Amino acid sequence: MATTLHRIVGIALLVLLALPASAAAPVSDDAHAHAFVEDGVVTWSPSVAYVAATLDIRGPEGVTLQRRFEPGQPLALDPSALEQALPDGLYIYDLLFVTGEMVPSAEGEPSQETKTQMGSFEMAGGRAVDSESLPFFHVGSGSIDGSLCVGNDCVSSEAFGFDTIRLKENNLRLHFQDTSVGAFPTNDWTLVANSSASGGDSFF
């Protein structure tokens, strides 16, 4: 029994190690504009002065989109206002600001200074969403260089100490669901750490 339990725990640790450390990258690096998604609309709040801004977007199924903005015009993209619906998936954008300042160029003639910011957002159900708000689903192998916390009570500043993997919440379970069919073994197994009932037992 002890050997079987050790094997189960070992497999569980391997599965957890294959998970990525975070759900996804933020919508933007906020280098020249703070980017956020609200009510299905992507909005940029610039921190630089500019005379013109150009937004180039690349998405799934070969979708490309370009928008030009003048000073005072809201820097925003409302997918519901577009003539063609954007398919669900990840979108990468380049936001280029023309500052109006003249800087030397390689050809020797002064040219207008530009500042570029890259970022991403996702479309889900016809609405723009922040990548961090989506459940993470990863196909393929993966590795984590560092520690991992899983559970509703994990925090971004988790102090791991010497822990490699930490399960952290008030109801801790490791469930093994066997999807085999036919004559293959199909038992499911669950490791439970402590009772979830008030006054219940502490075990495992």
Q: Residue 23: its pLDDT value, please?
A: 34
Q: Token pair for residue 191? A: 């490791």
Q: What CATH number was assigned to the domain covering residues 33-129? A: 2.60.40
- Residue extents of the structural domains in the chain: 2-22+138-193, 33-129
The mean per-residue pLDDT over the stretch 148-155 comes to 88
Q: Residue 187: its pLDDT value, please?
A: 94
CB 42 within 8 A of CB 128: yes
What digits encode the pLDDT tens for the residues 104-151? 666 666 778 888 988 888 898 888 987 665 555 555 677 888 899 988
pLDDT at 15 over 50: no
Q: How far apart are CA 127 and CA 38, in angstroms?
A: 10
Contacts of 71 (CB under 8 A, 6+ apart): 50, 51, 52
The mean per-residue pLDDT over the stretch 16-42 comes to 64
Please give the backbone phi and psi of residue 65, each rounded to the nearest 5 degrees, phi first: -150, 140
Q: Token pair for residue 5? A: 């339990």
